[in-house]
Amino acid sequence: MARNESEQIYKGLLDTLVLNVLLAEPNYGFGIKETLREQLGDDADVVKEATLYPLLHRLERKELVLSYRQPGDRGTPRKYYKITQSGHQYLKQQIEAWRQVSALLDRTIFKKD
């Protein structure tokens, strides 16, 4: 699969991936990006700042996350994001949807002969 095509698949997953990171604890943009980099390994380049911050703002508008400012290590306030109850519900639904997609692929494309 070409890199561009696989990036499109990951972009479809990004809401779920970001909310999953925030499930563990509130985090700020760069911290979220670093956690995803660790989780995604070689595919981490699909999470770009130009993608991540608009995604976080969209999740906030949908009330799936809320943001607050907290002093950073160097005194400059950072914008932290925390998953909301609605975000928890949405994440549960998304995980179930991805499980269904995975099961469908297992029964069809990845089916063992």
- Give the domain range for residue 22: 3-107
The model's pTM is 0.86
Which residues are within 8 A (CB) of 14 and not within 5 positions of it... i.e. 6 or more apart? 46, 47, 51, 52, 55
pLDDT tens-digit map of 44-102: 888 888 889 999 999 999 999 999 999 877 878 999 999 999 999 999 999 999 999 99
- Domain membership flag for residue 112: no
Give the C-alpha separation, 66 to 98, whole Å. 24
- Domain membership flag for residue 43: yes
How many Cα atoms occupy the beta-carbon half-sphere of 29 within 13 Å?
17
Query: Which residue, among 76, 53, 57, has the nearest Cα to 66 in the 3D structure?
Result: 57
Residue type at position 98: W
Number of domains in the chain: 1
CATH code (residue 37): 1.10.10.10
